[in-house]
Amino acid sequence: MNTRCVPAGLMLMLLPVIAHSQQHTPMHHERMNAEAVTAPMSDERQWVKVPEALRAHMLANMRDHLKTLNRLHGLLGSGRFEEAADLAEQRLGLQSLQLHGASRIGPYMPKRMAEIGTGMHKAASRFALAARDAAVNGNVSAALSALADVTAQCVACHDGYRVQ
């Protein structure tokens, strides 16, 4: 229950109700956990061996990718298409390869994994073009589906590989 806007007097009257509703929260979580446990847990992702320093670097890149996606959604939502295009190109697109040290990590990747990585950078550059178009013609759906092509590459790689 959202109790932020409730006046103090009413809050006192509501306390038993709130306590009651909160009593149920743990049960709800237990139910969720039970579902998670019964869900298929098999993990067939391929292990990829990477030297520890590079692994840390790669995971830092990954967190940056997620941050970038979050910012892209925010920029699209507020109609700042040019900024979205610049950000995508610099942090995820083909221009970002050097920033992410792709040439150092690439050699450790199985061929298919590297292809997905390249696919992601290309998709991000295509998104940048679609975002620039949106700045001119207002076609936000085209930009959003181009962004979904980017996240499809994140999903494809995460489904297939893990690092150690």
Chain contacts with ligand HEC (rule: CB under 6 A): 59, 62-63, 65-66, 69, 92, 113, 116-117, 120, 150, 153-154, 157-158, 161-163
The CA–CA distances, whole Å, from 155 to 66, 94, 120, 160 equal 12, 19, 10, 9
Which amino acid, 69? L
Report, in Å, the least distance between residue 120 CB and ligand HEC: 4
Long-range contacts of 131-137 (CB under 8 A, 24+ apart): 131/76, 131/81, 131/82, 131/84, 131/85, 131/88, 132/81, 132/82, 132/85, 134/76, 134/81, 135/81, 135/82, 135/85
Report, in Å, the least distance between residue 124 CB and ligand HEC: 7
Which residue lies nearer to ligand HEC by CB, 22 or 70? 70
What gap in Å lies between CA 18 and CA 15, rounded to an integer? 5
Report, in Å, the least distance between residue 66 CB and ligand HEC: 4
The CA–CA distances, whole Å, from 115 to 8, 107, 135, 137, 157 equal 59, 12, 30, 32, 10
Report, in Å, the least distance between residue 157 CB and ligand HEC: 3
What gap in Å lies between CA 17 and CA 127, rounded to an integer? 49
Report, in Å, the least distance between residue 25 CB and ligand HEC: 28
Which residue lies nearer to ligand HEC by CB, 76 or 157? 157
